[in-house]
């Protein structure tokens, strides 16, 4: 009986061990199967063909063209020929006859300002000029009389001088025959010397007075000349009050607030010639040692691309930026450009011409060697391509690909591990 009980217990122990061993075998098999599935998935993902919808990718064709290393900047379009119409004096706006965007001729009046005060000022200046003319005439008459009297004094004294000379000769003759004395002769000599000194004095006074009269008249005439210039300036200001355009073009700004006060020199309107434009650009000051006049520039707007060259560079920096001006090429079509339009600038530092290139999109990771997908029929094959110059628009291709090849340029993250991709 005991022996039977012992065997039953042993059977139970053996059964538990077997069960544990069976469980371990099952777990091992499951792990191996799981690893096989993962490896198969990785193998399929890496080496077997995937598929992609044609609408989900961007395709570009390899072409020949220029690829440049560029310095990026920003710019603003401004007319090469533009004119600001300013207020010639403090006043207020009476009326406007034009509006922003309107085409105007050079002789056309854009607005008018009140000229009542300016006309009164002109009238006062004219009256003052007339008074100055009268003053000049009166002064000339007075000075002419003074000069006449001086000349007559000189003539009278000249006659007196001759009389003293004759008197001296008479005394000397009488002295020689005993009819006079030495004292009388000496007195005659003294009186003659006095008259000679007086004559010298009068002639000197006459010369000085003549020069003084000339200077006094010149001074008065200068004052009148300045007054006449003030009159002409006031007349010019009154002419400017009509606010004529000055050039053929388009109004880019006008103060159309009738009744608004304006100060002297305040801008009333701006007119721009829309046939000629230049670009006012800004570039980081870190490129100051690279920039030079004559460098080629490509400007881009939402309307298109424009080519030009740097015509001038500001010598100073403001807020870390250098200002430069770009002259657009003469053969450029500028009909879509407008003042103050924003433009992206690419200043060409170095360029490879007539090289293979493709548009720069998400497929490029910025590496010297890029994995790209070359399209043949309805399938794309991964190829490793060497690249050269690149900018925001183009990447230079230097190996594997040929002109006319089509490649996927949109991001390829979803199938980057595949060797082939079917295009549906």
Same domain, residue pair 281 and 412: yes
Same domain, residue pair 200 and 251: no
Same domain, residue pair 93 and 71: no
Which pLDDT score is estimated for 312? Answer: 94
Domain total in the chain: 3
Which pLDDT score is estimated for 366? Answer: 87
Which pLDDT score is estimated for 75? Answer: 94
Same domain, residue pair 264 and 395: no
Same domain, residue pair 132 and 68: no
Same domain, residue pair 356 and 323: yes
Same domain, residue pair 309 and 385: yes
For 266, the domain range is 81-115+242-272
- Whole-model pTM: value is 0.56
Same domain, residue pair 387 and 247: no
Summarised one tens digit per residue, pLDDT across range 4-62 is 454 444 444 455 556 566 666 665 665 656 666 655 555 554 555 578 888 889 999 99
- Least Cα distance to 417 among 27, 42, 114, 77 occurs for 42
Residue 82 CA, distance from chain mean position: 12
Which pLDDT score is estimated for 1? Answer: 46
Which pLDDT score is estimated for 30? Answer: 59
Which pLDDT score is estimated for 40? Answer: 55
Same domain, residue pair 285 and 418: yes
Same domain, residue pair 253 and 234: no
Which pLDDT score is estimated for 208? Answer: 81
Of 250, 272, 294, the position where a domain reaches its end is: 272
Torsion angles phi and psi, residue 370, rounded to 5:
-115, 140
Same domain, residue pair 110 and 251: yes
- Residue 227 included in any domain: yes
CATH code of the domain in which 337 resides: 2.40.30.170
Of 255, 272, 289, the position where a domain reaches its end is: 272
Same domain, residue pair 292 and 412: yes
Tell me which residues of the chain have a pLDDT lower than 50: 1-4, 6-13, 45
């Amino acid at each position: 009986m005991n022996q039977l009980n012992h065997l039953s217990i042993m059977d139970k122990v053996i059964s538990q061990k077997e069960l544990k061993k069976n469980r371990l075998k099952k777990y091992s098999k499951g792990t191996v199967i799981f690893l096989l599935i993962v490896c198969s998935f990785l193998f399929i993902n890496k080496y077997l063909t995937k598929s992609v919808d044609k609408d989900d990718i961007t395709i570009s064709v390899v072409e020949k063209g220029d690829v440049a290393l560029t310095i990026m900047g920003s710019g603003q379009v401004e007319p090469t020929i533009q004119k600001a119409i300013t207020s010639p004096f403090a006043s207020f706006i009476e009326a406007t006859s034009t509006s922003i965007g309107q085409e105007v001729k050079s002789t056309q009046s854009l607005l008018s300002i009140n000229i009542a005060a300016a006309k009164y000022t002109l009238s006062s200046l004219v009256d003052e000029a007339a008074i100055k003319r009268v003053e000049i005439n009166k002064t000339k008459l007075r000075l002419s009389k003074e000069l006449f009297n001086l000349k007559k004094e000189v003539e009278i004294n000249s006659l007196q001088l001759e009389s003293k000379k004759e008197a001296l000769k008479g005394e000397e003759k009488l002295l020689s025959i005993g009819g006079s004395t030495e004292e009388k002769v000496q007195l005659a000599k003294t009186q003659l010397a006095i008259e000679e000194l007086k004559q010298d004095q009068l002639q000197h006074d006459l010369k000085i007075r003549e020069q003084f009269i000339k200077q006094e008249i010149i001074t008065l005439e200068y004052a009148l000349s300045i007054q006449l210039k003030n009159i002409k300036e006031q007349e010019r200001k009154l002419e400017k009050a009509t606010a004529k355009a000055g050039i053929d073009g388009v109004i880019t700004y006008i103060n159309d607030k009738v009744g608004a006060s304006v100060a002297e020199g305040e801008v009333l309107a701006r007119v721009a010639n829309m046939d000629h434009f230049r670009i006012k650009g800004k570039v980081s000051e870190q490129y100051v040692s690279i920039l030079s006049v004559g460098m080629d520039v490509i400007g881009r707007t939402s309307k298109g691309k424009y080519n030009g060259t740097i015509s001038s560079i500001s010598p100073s920096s403001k807020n870390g930026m250098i200002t430069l001006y770009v002259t657009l090429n003469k053969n450029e079509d500028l009909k879509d450009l407008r003042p103050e339009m924003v433009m992206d600038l690419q200043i060409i530092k170095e360029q490879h011409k007539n090289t293979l290139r493709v548009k720069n999109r998400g497929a490029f990771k910025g590496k010297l060697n890029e994995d790209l997908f070359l399209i043949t029929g309805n399938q794309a094959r991964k190829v490793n391509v060497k690249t050269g110059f690149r900018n925001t628009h183009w990447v230079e291709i230097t190996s594997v690909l040929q002109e006319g090849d089509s490649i996927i340029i949109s991001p390829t993250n979803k199938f980057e591990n595949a060797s082939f991709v079917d295009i549906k």
